[in-house]
Chain A
Amino acid sequence: MPVIFSKSVRGRTGVSLPENDVPDNVSIPENCLRTSPLDLCELSELDVVRHFTALSRKNYGVDTGFYPLGSCTMKYNPKVCEKAAGLDGFANLHPMLTALPDGVKMTQGSLAVIYELENLLCNITAMDAFTLTPMAGAHGELTGMMIIAAYHRKKGNNKTEVLIPDEAHGTNPSSAAVAGYDVKSIPTDPATGLLDIEKLKEAVNEKTAAIMMTNPNTLGLFNPQIKEIAALAHSFDAQLYYDGANLNAIMGKFRPGDGDFDVVHVNLHKTFAAPHGGGGPGSGPVGVKKHLEPFLPVSRVVKKANGEFCVCDDYPDSIGRVAPFFGNFLVNLKAYVYILMMGGEGLKKVSEQAVLSANYIMRSLKDHYDVAYLKTCMHECVLTAKRQMENGVSALDIAKALIDKGFHPPTIYFPLIVKEAMMIEPTETESKEAIDAFIEAMVEIAREAEDNPEALRNAPVSTPVGRLNETKAAKEMNVACL
């Protein structure tokens, strides 16, 4: 598609400017004058509308079609949440208002949203206190690990290591490292697809600051040995961290706090239907058990005896500020609306439906693709292109072929512990018809992988650009203004 500058025609304009009634004899020093004319697009209004409409039609999102990008939870986000976030009183609220004398009185509604959302999340996860300030999942992880580090410092514990299974989310090791810890990886037991508990027992010792778990893990499998792992961690005063990026699989079924987790982060932009993609905005609130509450970041919203809300920074053991103001407040607001709208029973159904959809896909495709672990999965399933590789068709080829069939590809080559992985997460918001159409496309691709593998290696052919050279794209950045 041509860039907008190439459509510019000298002298064309989208607006009629009134006659200049400002004297033009203003003297400007010679050295401040441009030497060449400004290179601006000269276009009519219709040119501009058509250009950007055409661009938008090349986009693909959950509003246009099925988007089974595993691990990312690309579910449909109800528009009513957007409407709430667009309300004047929220959208135009100045973040410094609480700093003004009596400003807190003018922000009671928003402070109530923060306070109540914290309580709702405590209830959903069985934790004692929450902070809404972290602005993304990995930011939540870092905040959680900083809280754990502050706890150990306060107690005088000399802890240097964090243990992380290799089936956990990929951001966990970096969060632990940024918080100052050495990371030790715990291998997955190939028989179960869950962390090898014997290896964990060998690795845990008095140096262990925390064990970070993703449950269900990146293979979409739930680890039922949580209580045992928690007891093992706590016997060394290590903290058990719950990466709640997959919370959408277990709402109303399992609460991390009931499984003796000490810290949890949740991704509001995934489980609680705030839109994301393209890098944000997200929100990664962190919940803790009572013994870690003093270390939560400031500012915190407190409810006074008279029912009024106030902002409090007086927490001497706090890790301080992790984000300006109250984090991504409008994202938090969308999650608040979503939780109230769904209710407890509704959230439980969300998880049930998400798990049912993933298992339906896995069972429907198991005769056509190898399944990494053929047992009941949670909200996502991991297939592999092992069988198709015998004909030289890789997970990448299958992903590209799906684009030709009108679907967004699943996540590929993740988790890293599965070769030629394809990680499919349908989410609860897709109808059976939409899922069936996807299954049919995958079956067709499996057939083509046997009958005509060469064609798949050239996919996609129906898109504005064909197969991209991914190596070149990663190495030679050439960003153009469209």
Chain B
Amino acid sequence: MAAVPTDLLYSKTHEWVQIEGDAVRVGITDHAQDSLGDITFVELPKLGTSVKKGGDAGVIESVKAASDLFSPVTGEVVSLNDSLESAPENINSDPYGSGWLYTVKFTDKSELDSLMDYEAYEKYLETI
């Protein structure tokens, strides 16, 4: 598996977050995609909807199982990775790049403090 990128933040439910001004880009980690196996379908939240930190933000289906996606922050969904509709396998091949899921304009920047940095996430991975 690829190394955990050092410039991102991570949730316990294996989402990664990249801060882009007043919004964050969200994806799932390499560990998450590896556990899920070949991904066949992604249902992203609708553009413009509000998501809550820890709340449902779509569904991801692989050959093994269907799993909920959780939003790492509270805010409004401002863009979606439309290419996943026809090429969900990008999440497997490039989880930190072309496999990103959506961006959220956050309402409370302090929520980011509860996310893990890469070192904490690597340690967390060792415990599970």
Contacts and interface: CB of A to CB of B under 8 A. Distances in A.
B40 interface: yes
Tier of interface size on chain B: 10 to 19
B38 interface: yes
With a 10 A CB-CB cut-off, give which of A413, A419, A470, A471 has the most chain B CB atoms.
A471
A413 B62 CA distance: 11
Tier of interface size on chain A: under 10
B89 A471 contact: yes
Contacts of B88: 475
Interface in A367-418: 413-414, 416
Interface string B78-116: 000000000011000000000000000000000000000
A474 interface: yes
B63 A470 contact: yes
A414 B37 CA distance: 13
Which 3 A-B pairs give the minimum distances between C-beta atoms?
Answer: A474-B40, A413-B64, A471-B38
Contacts of A416: 65
Given A416-B65, A471-B40, A475-B88, 5 more contacts: A414-B65, A474-B40, A474-B61, A474-B63, A475-B40
Contacts of B39: 471
A470 B37 CA distance: 11
A326 to B, nearest CB: 33
B41 A474 contact: yes
A475 B65 contact: no
Nearest to A394: B37
Interface in B17-40: 35, 37-40
Contacts of A471: 38-40, 63, 89
A470 B92 CA distance: 14
A416 B68 CA distance: 13
Nearest to B66: A170
Contacts of A470: 38, 40, 63
A475 B63 contact: no
Contacts of A414: 65
Interface in A90-139: none
A469 B64 CA distance: 13
9 contacts: A413-B37, A413-B64, A414-B65, A470-B40, A474-B41, A474-B61, A474-B63, A475-B40, A475-B88
